[in-house]
Amino acid sequence: MILAGDVGGTKVHLALYSFAGGRLSAVRDHKFPATEFATLDEVVKAFLAQAGESKEEIVAACFGCPGPVRDGRLKLTNLPWTLDERELVKSLGIQHIFLINDLEANGYGIPELAPEKVFTLHAGDEEFGGHRGLVSAGTGLGEALLIWDAKKQRHTPLPSEGGHCDFAPRTDREIELLNYLRRTLNGRVSFERVVSGIGIKNVYAFLRDDRKMDEPAWLRERMENEDPNAVIGQCGEDGSSEICFETLQIFASAFGAEAGNVALKVLAMGGIYLGGGIAPKILKTMENGAFMQAFRDKGRLSPLLEAVPVRIILDDTCALLGAAAFAEARAAEISGRSERAAS
């Protein structure tokens, strides 16, 4: 079996996979609140204890984590954890353990997705193929480049921290948003401050506090007592709140602009994939034009962007699938035995 993990700032999602006919097959999975554990080791041990699996049954493990991995080691930004492949091997007793960037894991997961788990937002021109881009808006904004290797006939994900690049406003309203965020954040503004869960709340606050859009009492009460992003998403999608609707329009437009930037930088004729938890929850907004208009609005290069397919990942286990695929492939390279090929 293969152990896979998607490590976030608030939760750790773990899963066990086997192979059937060369395809990954989920055995079981569970989500753990990260803040209730002192280390990743403790989470993994709790997961394995649930069903009494033996670590000897696990041939390899991989964990997708936010942030750059250097020499098999990284320090998480939203948790007081420092992870090291070598220390995890000793602690967990699993021979092959790998740490990779969470967007890298998502990139490896895309080929493992079932067709119905991918929503085509824009068909583009399918005949070209080539490099791909991955832009994931969730708690933060993750980005990766998926480089096409014609010889091996596969994409190799290259992790990046592109979501932390400078926010580039394109309209008068976005310039006003930038100035508002510069004041409230006391300085520099990255794309993540607009295109993410954090960003949605920032845009809403801008419209309420700076543009003085009305926040009805019923909406204010819901924002105070429920998950603000869930409220904004629901009320923006169903049209029950003007301020929520406008928040999603600004978000989608900025999201589209940055996805278009990534498409230009990597010449993503193989497509742009939109990951993260936000896009699947606001499909009506993503389809209403603001995203694609901003995506294509690249001046003389607009015809090139028109040819780029844009797809939304609907499967929230994509990073787990990618981590499992990576673990199996790397362990097979080291040991000379492939679990996938043997299935």
Tens digits of residue pLDDT in 289-340 = 999 999 999 999 999 999 999 999 999 999 999 999 999 999 999 988 888 8
pLDDT top residue among 286 and 126: 286
Calculate what percentage of the chain has a pLDDT beyond 70: 100
Those residues whose C-beta lies under 8 Å from the C-beta of residue 273, and which sit 6 or more positions away, are 110, 118, 132, 133, 134, 135, 146, 311, 312, 313
Q: 110: pLDDT confidence band, cut at 50, 70 and 90?
A: very high
pLDDT level of residue 236 (50, 70, 90 thresholds): very high
Q: What is the pLDDT of residue 130?
A: 94
Residue 48 has pLDDT above 80, yes or no: yes
CATH 3.20.20.70 for domain 2-108+317-342: no
Quick one: tokens of 256?
A: 């589209």
CATH 3.40.367.20 applies to domain 115-314? yes
Instruction: Quote the pLDDT of residue 182.
Output: 97
State the Cα torsion 145-67-323-268 to the nearest 10°.
-10
Strands 272-275 and 310-313: parallel
Do the Cβ atoms of 105 and 322 come closer than 8 Å? yes
Average pLDDT over residues 40-59: 87
pLDDT tier at 59, thresholds 50, 70, 90: very high
The pTM of the whole model exceeds 0.85: yes
Cα(82)–Cα(43) distance, integer angstroms:
14
Q: Do domains 2-108+317-342 and 115-314 have the same CATH topology?
A: no
- Contact indicator for 312, 121 with CB cutoff of 8 Å: yes
Helix (H), strand (E) at residue 190: none
Report whether pLDDT(57) > 90: no
pLDDT in tens, 182-232: 999 999 999 999 999 999 999 999 999 999 999 999 999 999 999 999 999
In the chain, where the domains are located: 2-108+317-342, 115-314
Q: What percent of the chain has pLDDT over 90?
A: 88
Average pLDDT, the chain: 94
- The pLDDT score that the predictor gives to residue 3 is 96
